[in-house]
Amino acid sequence: MEIKKRFLNISEISDYLGFSNSAIRKWVRLGMIPFHKINGGVRFDIKCIDEWLAKKSRSLRRF
């Protein structure tokens, strides 16, 4: 899936990551995923998400 927008909503980020909307909402609630509140809505900066994924991937390789 190719993403052109910089900020994604929950549905778009769930498609991008391959997880359910409810999983993404839970991660937001628990502070487990980087997000921004924009005009009262939750948005995900695709650049921050890609950096977060790279960091998570590196930390998992240590085990």
| Residue for token pair 């390789």 | 61
The DSSP letter of residue 34 is: -
Fold classification of 7-61 (topology level): Multidrug-efflux Transporter Regulator; Chain: A; Domain 2 (1.10.1660)
User: In the prediction, which pLDDT does 8 show?
Assistant: 96
8 burial via Cβ count (<10 Å: 0-12, 13-18, 19+): buried
Instruction: Report the predicted TM-score, pTM, of the whole model to 2 decimal places.
Output: 0.82
Convert the pLDDT of each residue in 31-46 to its tens digit.
Answer: 999 999 999 999 999 9
